[in-house]
Structure 1
Amino acid sequence: MKIGILGTGGMAAALGGAWVAAGHSVMIGGRRPQRAQRIAELVAGAGTGSLADAARHGDAVLLAVPAAAAPQLAAELAGDLAGRTVVDCTNPLVPTDDGLMLDVGETGSIARRLAAAAPEAYVVKAFNLCHVSIWTLRPPTFENVPLAVPFCADHPTAIAATQTLIGSIGCTPAPCGGLARAAYLEATAALAIGMWWAGTQPRAAFPSPAEAPLP
């Protein structure tokens, strides 16, 4: 699969490296060519270009910029993103005295804001629950169980592409419904990251169905 990555931070390097290792064709795009080149050097085998180049390169496009900047960038590249799967891995979190809170505007989620900014793109929410370091593992496996990656998507093409992106790096796709449910993934990130910061373990709050059968 051809994958474009918009952004030159840690998520671009970590997921880009995982996808290159899985055999995908990856192009990293940024506003500063030198920064994009440095990230590509960390991701041996990735190409570089402008943000528009990366958007046009990808059958799937990872939007890996700060959440506050993501909607404007999606609007700027709306024409280049049309007909492509656009994966939103951002977390719109703001530290407050009461802990991490969401900052998503009136749409309910950053993912829905991206869909409004680039209405002909197939927006997906995914890869937002884990720290960047997790995506450098080959593969991300814990207690002999592959990491599950929840995602929300509406379009069949986007669903299939996202399952490939997740499965090809050794993780398990975990569909969580349409994009209307992306707000729940973003809220889960706020809760889980807040628990980690507090020194507690989010995984311990979710026993498996076999251990706690549903009624």
Structure 2
Amino acid sequence: MRIGIFGTGGMADALGTQWARAGHELMVSGRSDPRPLASRLGAATGSRRETAAFADVLLLAVPASAIGEVLAQAGPLAGKVLVDCSNDPALTGTPVASRIDTEAQVVKAFNLAHVDIWRMTPPAFDGRPLSVPLCGDDPSAVEAVSTLVRDIGARPVLAGGLDRAALLEATAAFAIGLWFAGEDAQAILAPLG
């Protein structure tokens, strides 16, 4: 798969590294110089527009406040899959996914775990792969992102349409708050069986 990465930070690095290992072809675009990350990934670099034109799937790994600017620079995205892994630290009450104005098929994913989890090969705990909830309206877009989830050794979980992304973002805010308070957020959910 051809993956374009908007961003050069931790999430771009962690997920890009996993997808490069899985044999995907990558191109990186960033506000800061994308060459160091691209070199580590064995990826090409390009402008936002070049990266968008190159990719089947685009990872939007930028701060929530930069999304509008990045998408404006990317140009038309019809027929593309756009993976939103962001969380809004301002907790404005308006989900990031609902503020993304694009013709691309948006899938919310990868926002519930810290960047270091995405560096694990595979991200598994006690032999159990990490589950990654996906919210999206287009079945083929959700399937493309499901493939990328499986390629890093995790398990995709279909969590509903993009209208449910607000719940996924609220879950992230709640769980991250517990973790910062020193609590085991995973322990609040009873295991199956």
TM-score w.r.t. length of structure 1: 0.86
Identity of matched residues, %: 49
Provide the aligned C-alpha RMSD in A.
1.2
Match of 2:35 in 1: 37
Match of 1:69 among 63, 66, 81: 66
Structure 1 position 77, deviation (Å):
2.3
Q: Any unmatched runs of 5+ in structure 1?
A: 95-101, 211-215
Q: Is the 8 A contact 2:48 2:73 kept in 1?
A: no
**Which stretch has the larger CA shift, 64-73 or 150-159?**
64-73
Match of 2:18 in 1: 18
Q: Distance in 2 between matches of 1:78 and 1:155?
A: 21
2:87 is aligned with what amino acid? N
Structure 1 position 209, deviation (Å):
2.4
2:39 is aligned with what amino acid? E
2:98 is aligned with what amino acid? R
Q: Deviations over 1:19-40 (max 9, x none)?
A: 00011111111134xx200111
Q: Is the 8 A contact 2:48 2:70 kept in 1?
A: no
TM-score w.r.t. length of structure 2: 0.95
Match of 2:96 in 1: 110
Instruction: Say whether residues 1:55 and 2:49 are aligned partners.
Output: no
1:28 is aligned with what amino acid? V
Q: Distance in 1 between matches of 2:146 and 2:92?
A: 28
1:41-190 mapped onto 2 (5 Å cutoff) = 41-43=39-41, 45-79=42-76, 81-94=77-90, 102-104=91-93, 108-114=94-100, 117-118=101-102, 120-190=103-173
Q: Deviations over 1:15-63 (max 9, x none)?
A: 000000011111111134xx200111232x2221112221111111000
Q: Distance in 2 between matches of 1:76 and 1:47?
A: 18
Structure 1 position 78, deviation (Å):
4.2
Bigger CA radius of gyration = 1
Q: Is the 8 A contact 1:31 1:51 kept in 2?
A: no
Q: Distance in 1 between matches of 2:83 and 2:72?
A: 15
